[in-house]
Each structure stands twice: as C-alpha cells, then as structure tokens.
Structure 1
Amino acid sequence: MLALVLAVAAAPLVAGSPAQAAPTGLGADFEWGVATSGFQSEGSPPDSNWSRYVSSGKTHDPYGSGPDFRHRYREDIARAAALGVDVFRFSVEWARVQPTPDGWDEAEFAYYDEVIEEIRGHGMKPMITLDHWVYPGWIADRGGWADPDTPARWLTNAERVALRYAGAGADWITFNEPTVFVQKELTFGGISLPAAPLMLDRMVGAHRSIYDTIHRLDPDARVSSNVSYIPAAMGAVDSVFADRVRDKLDFLGLDYYYGVSLDNLTAAAAVTDAFYDIRPQPDGIYHAAMYYARKYPELPIYVVENGMPTDNGAPRPDGYTRSDHLRDHIYWLGRARADGADVIGYNYWSITDNYEWGTYRPRFGLYTVDTLTDPTLTRRPTDGVAAYRDLIAAGGVPVDYRPVMAPAFCSLVSPPQSCLSPTGS
C-alpha cells in the first residue's frame, strides 16, 4: 500500500460535484461544539511528559507562551458562545492539578472551576477530557504508562475530577485518541515498543473503571473515548481499544481528519505530521459515520474532532478554504444522518490555533494565533468563523448545497462499502 501511495499522484480539486441535494438539516437536537485541550492551548505548562519532550529538543518548535488559554479562557469561551455552539470541549490537566504524588493544587482546580462556570454561564455544556496525552512529570519519573502503578494513580486523579464536576451537566471523554496516544509515546520515548500493548491494556482497564465511577457520581452524564479514524485500518485499530470498551461507551466519539481513495493518496503526508499537505476528503466523514453505524448500531455517534490545518495560516494552493471544509463536512454528516447513522453532534477542532504536539505550523483554529511571533497573542478570525456561525444558525447547509470538493473515486475509508457505494444510495 505504501508503494502505491508514493507512486500515485493526488487528483485535483473539483468545484461542485455530482453529490445529491443536501438534507433539510441536522435537527434541533443536534449538538454543535468547539474543542481545545490543556497542554496544546493553556500555556504556562507544569512539569509533564510533554513539557519534558519539548525541553529535551525532541520537538520542531519551542513551546513559548502557548496560546495562553490559561489566562484568556473568558474571551475564547465568549467567542465560542458567539458562534452559537452548544458544547465547549477542554481538558482538566492531571499535571496541573496534581503536581506531586501527594499534593493537589487547589488554585488550579479553582481555575477549572472558573472555566466550567464560564462555559455554563454562556449556556454551553462542558465536554471534559480527563486525559489528552499528558501526565505529570513525577509519573514520567516512574516510567509513565509502563509503570504498573500508573493506572491506579490515574484513577485517583480522574475520580477526584469527576467528583468535583459531577452535576455540572458535562459530557466526559476519558482518553483522547488512545491508539494515537500510544504512538506519540513511542515516538517521543515515553514508552518502549514492548510496552505498547500493555499501555493499551491499562488504558482499557482505566476507562472501564472510570466509566462506572462517573456514572455512580454523575448518573445523567454521558461518557466516551474518541477514536482517531484511520482510513481502511479501523478494524485493527478498534480491536485494541474501542471493541474492548464498547459496553462502557454512551456514544461513539469520532475524530475524522482525512480519507484515502484511488484518486487521493495524499494521506501519506500524515506519516511526517505534514497534515496541511493532505487533500481533504469530506465524503470520508460520511463513510466513517456509516461504518460505525453498522458496527456499533446501539451507539449514537458524536464527531468529537474535525478540522482542517493550513500551513502556517497560508491559503491552501488548491484554493480550498476553511469555510469550504466546514460546509462540505456538515453536508456529508447530514447525508449520513439521513441514511440512518445516529449522528448527534459535531465539534470543530479547534477554537484557536494551538501547539500541535511539537509544532505550531499546522493551523487548525477558527481563530488564528501567531504564538511564536506575536507577543499580544491576538486572535484573528478566519473565514471559518462566519461559515460555522451560519451553519449552526441554519442547522446545516442549504437544501441546494453542493460540496466544493468532489466525492472521492473509490473511497478506501471503509472498504469495500465506501468504494462500491460512494453516495450511500
């Protein structure tokens, strides 16, 4: 497959498409959101595995100030509310609230209290991530997830967070993209290759345990983990985590960023994290949603992350814009919902540009921030802001909308169905 990827050139952008007319809307019960995470956006990072990866020179860019959500959360939450979103996703950083094995930082908990109060005060629901790939430095000193005591220590923190925010009306994400978490830990030296299966086993056990704990403390809450959709590979990816916690999910959290097809093999750029060089494949989100609708019919689907990176904020060479990307993906989600997938929500990643695990070069933000060059960290709106606001207000795309990006030729997102039935008809 890799040889094929390297040998075949990507097809050009096609304006308009033979896709069917848009559904009339995603429904009044559909939830719209934005997302962010602790280390990537907060700034002022405490000692953690990731602050150590940066200081050791293993990353492309220094961290600098970060986008400083830590001190600018009120304005970023207000920007989200102005879009009309229902959900604001963020993470409570373990490294921030438990800086030592026996020490809890009440001031940092108070900060998260204020974040949640601000979200709720704007009429939005918090979506709280317990683990977005970051753990305290003192856990790193013990071997990270290779240490047999880490799951119990993780659960101690997670239960404290769940107890504190029970009743806040939150949705909960336990582990963000667990399989990619393992891959990042391997890449940056947090674990060795032989320890990778054990790390997955331990996260499975921790998820199953905290699921029950959250439901005991917060019976009305919804709990999940979000899977990173890897085209044509989800059978193997699901087998190591999602399949093993299926009975401990209240919805299937889906992260979709790119597809693969016979006329779009640019996903090879993901190997080097050059996500801005990948040609988006919006119809792939339809196939991903339909894949999980068939596989886990008992679970509603919430798109926890979807977004498009640009190269340092520069326009894409093919002219495809963030607003095009948003409208096209929402069109295909509407198609999936119309074709029977129980898609209940969508979060755009992310509200602002952030630190993409070693670099600021990929710009995903609805609001762009020049973290390394602008000491004022000014938030500047992209064209995606107005587009997303309009989509939310209308409940989807207009009925006569046609995607800017043509449907892929023989999508390999979930073969063979995605190739044989490209429009779901």
Structure 2
Amino acid sequence: MLGAALAASAVRRPPRPGVAPLPADFRWGVALAGVQSEGHCPDSNWRRYSEQHAPTVSDEIGDTADWFCHVEEDVARAKDLGIGTFRYSVEWARTQPAPGELDPEGFAFYDKVIDTIEATGLKPMITLDHWVYPGWLADRGGWLCDDVVELWLQHARRVVERYAGRDVTWITINEPGIYVGFERRNRKLGRMEVGTMKRRLVEAHRGAYALVKSLDPGALVTSNIAYLPAPLNLIDDRWFFDQTIDTMDFLGIDYYYGLSVGNPTVVNDLVGRLWRIRTQPDGLLHALRIYHRKAPHLPIWIVENGICTDNGKPRSDGLTRSDHLLDHLYYLQRAADEGIPVMGYNYWSLTDNYEWGSYRPRFGLYRVDVLTDSAKTRHETDGVATYRAAIARNGVPEGYRPVRREAWGSPAAPWSTTLGRLTHQ
C-alpha cells in the first residue's frame, strides 16, 4: 500500500512553486574581512598563527588579495554589481599596534575605505571583530586576558565614535561560535578556558550594542550567526544567540552548508576540504524558518553566503557559482513568500582571499591567484554577471527552478524534506 501511494504521489508531482521578486527596498551587498583581504598585515593573533603554522594553518598570510592597495577599484567593482551595502572590518591590530599606542595611518586607511564607499553611493557595514586581535593582546592571553572586554570595548568605542552618523550597519562579533572554535584549536584552550571566552564574547557584544545605541542612535546593530546544521545550531545558540537576542536589531545569518541523510558531505569541513561539500540550497529555507520561529519580531539579513571551489577550478559536481547563487536566491524568495521578513543578502566574498589558514578554498566573485600572481589581478567569474542580473530584477528569473535537487532527511525539517523530495522532484 505504501509503495502504491508513493508511486501515485510521484505521478501527481506538482511543479515546484514559482517565487515573487524580492521587495524594492531589499538590501543587496558583498562582504570581505580585514586579515583575509587587506594584506600588509600588522602583528595579530592570525599573523602569528600563520607564521607559526598553527593547527589550522597550511599557508602563510602574505599580502592576501592586497585590498589595502585595491580599495578604489574593488569598491567600483562592487558598485557595478548594483549592490547597496559593502561589508568590511576595522582591524584592532591595525589601529592599535601597541598598548596605549594608536596608529594614525591605520585609521587613515579605514577613513579612505569609508570615504570611497560613500563616494560611490554605497553604505558601509562594519564588523568590529572578525576573529582578529593585536599581537600584544595575544601575549596577554587573548580572550583569557582579565581585562580583554574592557580593552575590546575601548577599540569598539574608537571605531563607533569615528564613523557614527555615516549610515553604518554594525556587526559586533563575526560568527562567535566559529571564533571560539579557531581559538580553541590554535591556542589549545581547555574546556574552562573555552567557557571563559564564551562569556566574555557575550559581554563584549552586549557592551558594543549599548555603545552604538549611545554614540550612533538609529544605526542597526547585530552579530552574525554561523548557521550550523541542526541540531548543532541549537547547541551553539544556547551560549551566544539565546543570551544576546535582546541586543540585536535584526538577525544576521551566515549560511553555507546543510546536513541531511542524503548529504553528509559537510564532514569535509572538519579537514578543511570545503570544496568537497555538496551544497544544500534548500537548507537556507529551513534555516530561515528556524530563526524566524526563534525571533519572529526581527527581520533577517543573510550576511554571508557563497560557494567554495578548489583553487578556482571547476567543481567536481559540475555546480557553477552562478547556479549556486540562483538556487540560494530562489529559496530566499520562497522564504519571503512565506512571510519571513528577509531584509538583505551579502555575497561572500567579493574576491578570493585567505580562508583562515589556506588559499586553496576560493569563494570570490572575482578570482585572485594570490600565491602565483604578484599583481593580484582580479578575474571575473560567472557569478558576477549572474549576481548583477539578479540584483537588477530583485531575484531569480521568472519561472526559475533550482539546479540542485532538494535534500532528503534533513534534521532541520525531516518530514518536509523527505516528503518534499517525493512530491516535488
């Protein structure tokens, strides 16, 4: 009987639903981060991890994509896409190279960045901490230093005071759970030390939220959360997201991978082979549903989303950057059609960069062969034209159907994903 019912449902398979364009005020963006992109790296925890070949490191940083010397042209490339928001970070290590010593040249660089962004009509999204702190703080124990929160908030105050009133959207701490994971491995933190770092990240975020509300009234503030495949996301949320939700003006979600019975390839993340992970675009819809249920009063911005290739080569599964982008936008539009208040989307990243220990994983809309090209030439990928066209029409083409089939047996939505595969393939 069950077999007959399934066969009948297969015969009656309805087409996947079409999706409406995203609203006219939807916020499109791109993203990058300091130590991953800037080059000319000051002394920091990550420069040291790189030079000392910490457990997560295979390549030294060098000058990465050298955004330090390519700001104007890269912002122009971003503007040409049609975006409205440019996300970057202001590195504490560049602005305060020694205790009590501020570097005017460091701040001058970030002044140039925000001036360039504004001159092209874009709006800045500034991250206060993208997993990097000064080398002198590393000498004191990093997040185990007794006065780290006070010192970190002094950095946050300097940045917010300098750029208040310039229509900034503020990200306090990038992906706190992943931050802890890298520090745990690279600094060999014990369980008690991990707990200390977690508590201090919560305190730092809450303090930064209060700072922004005091110094830059009206600005939006959040911390972007890395979506982990269920049920890992529920475990990770308990210590940060659930403790800070009252100090978020919107939900910032980073979505890269899903997990399901039919797609266990996310385990490749454990060994750094990100290009071997089979993407799961429909998982974005499940993630949005989960977080909308957790905080129905807050809009959601996909602060990071992208696809990894192996040194810029075509993926073994044939999926292109263009296909990946459109598939994810399709499910983002599905979420909007369901009434989930999605407000923005950032592509990660504008260019290839230093992926926390290696140049082999490539996420850029523009390819940069950092290790072999001293000029750091930007090469346009197929994702550029696709993203430009998607922004112009506020979503996927009419009648678009995803290239990647829906997963089955996802722990985030086991019944809907299994039955969905039976009825919507």
> What's the TM-score, normalizing by structure 1?
0.93
Give the distance between the partners of 2:333 and 2:306, measured in 1 at CA. 17
Q: Does structure 1 conserve the Cα–Cα contact (< 8 Å) formed by 2:406 and 2:417? A: no
Q: Which amino acid aligns with 2:37?
A: S
Report the secondary structure of 1:199's partner residue. Answer: helix
Report what 2:39 is aligned to: 43
Report what 1:25 is aligned to: 21
Report what 1:319 is aligned to: 318
Residue 418 of structure 1 and its aligned partner are, at CA, apart by 5.3
**Matching residue within 103, 106, 109 for 1:105:** 103
Counting only pairs closer than 5 Å after superposition, residues 127-276 of structure 1 correspond to structure 2 as 127-189=125-187, 191-232=189-230, 233-276=232-275
Corresponding position: 1:294 with 2:293: yes
Q: For residues 423 and 97 of structure 1, do their structure 2 counterparts lie closer, same or farther at Cα, with a shift above 3 Å needed?
A: farther
Q: Does structure 1 conserve the Cα–Cα contact (< 8 Å) formed by 2:329 and 2:395? A: yes
List alignment gaps of at least 5 residues for structure 1. 1-16
Give the distance between the partners of 1:64 and 1:19, measured in 2 at CA. 50
Q: Does structure 1 conserve the Cα–Cα contact (< 8 Å) formed by 2:281 and 2:327? A: yes
Q: Does structure 2 conserve the Cα–Cα contact (< 8 Å) formed by 1:410 and 1:422? A: no
Residue by residue over 1:376-412, the C-alpha shift from the partner in whole angstroms, topping out at 9 and shown as x without a partner, is 1100000000000000001001220000001111222
Residue by residue over 1:26-67, the C-alpha shift from the partner in whole angstroms, topping out at 9 and shown as x without a partner, is 110110000000000000000000000011122101222211
Residue 158 of structure 1 and its aligned partner are, at CA, apart by 0.4
Give the distance between the partners of 2:306 and 2:14, measured in 1 at CA. 24
Give the distance between the partners of 1:183 and 1:44, measured in 2 at CA. 26
Q: Which moved more, 1:415-424 or 1:155-164?
A: 415-424
Report the secondary structure of 1:96's partner residue. Answer: helix
Report the secondary structure of 2:125's partner residue. Answer: strand
Give the distance between the partners of 2:422 and 2:300, measured in 1 at CA. 19
Q: Which amino acid aligns with 1:313?
A: G
- Between the two structures, name the one with larger relative contact order (CA 8 Å, sep ≥ 6): 1
Report the secondary structure of 1:353's partner residue. Answer: coil
Give the distance between the partners of 2:311 and 2:168, measured in 1 at CA. 33
List alignment gaps of at least 5 residues for structure 2. 1-12
Tell me which structure has the larger Cα radius of gyration.
2
Residue 165 of structure 1 and its aligned partner are, at CA, apart by 0.4
Residue 204 of structure 1 and its aligned partner are, at CA, apart by 0.4
Give the distance between the partners of 1:122 and 1:129, measured in 2 at CA. 20
Q: Which amino acid aligns with 1:48?
A: S
Report the secondary structure of 1:347's partner residue. Answer: strand
> What's the TM-score, normalizing by structure 2?
0.93
Residue 298 of structure 1 and its aligned partner are, at CA, apart by 1.1
Give the distance between the partners of 1:314 and 1:127, measured in 2 at CA. 31
Q: For residues 421 and 237 of structure 1, do their structure 2 counterparts lie closer, same or farther at Cα, with a shift above 3 Å needed?
A: farther
Q: Does structure 2 conserve the Cα–Cα contact (< 8 Å) formed by 1:66 and 1:354? A: yes
Give the distance between the partners of 1:334 and 1:161, measured in 2 at CA. 35
Q: Which amino acid aligns with 1:124?
A: L
Give the distance between the partners of 1:158 and 1:164, measured in 2 at CA. 10
Residue 194 of structure 1 and its aligned partner are, at CA, apart by 2.2
Q: For residues 137 and 416 of structure 1, do their structure 2 counterparts lie closer, same or farther at Cα, with a shift above 3 Å needed?
A: farther
Report what 2:115 is aligned to: 117
Report what 2:85 is aligned to: 87
Residue 193 of structure 1 and its aligned partner are, at CA, apart by 3.4
Residue 22 of structure 1 and its aligned partner are, at CA, apart by 2.9
| RMSD across aligned positions (CA) | 1.7
Q: Which amino acid aligns with 1:116?
A: I
Report the secondary structure of 1:293's partner residue. Answer: helix
Q: Which amino acid aligns with 1:357?
A: W
Residue by residue over 1:264-298, the C-alpha shift from the partner in whole angstroms, topping out at 9 and shown as x without a partner, is 11011011121100000000011101111111101
Report what 2:284 is aligned to: 285
Give the distance between the partners of 1:247 and 1:53, measured in 2 at CA. 34
Q: Does structure 1 conserve the Cα–Cα contact (< 8 Å) formed by 2:408 and 2:414? A: no
Report what 2:9 is aligned to: none
Q: Which amino acid aligns with 1:152?
A: E
Residue 414 of structure 1 and its aligned partner are, at CA, apart by 4.9
Give the distance between the partners of 2:419 and 2:126, measured in 1 at CA. 38
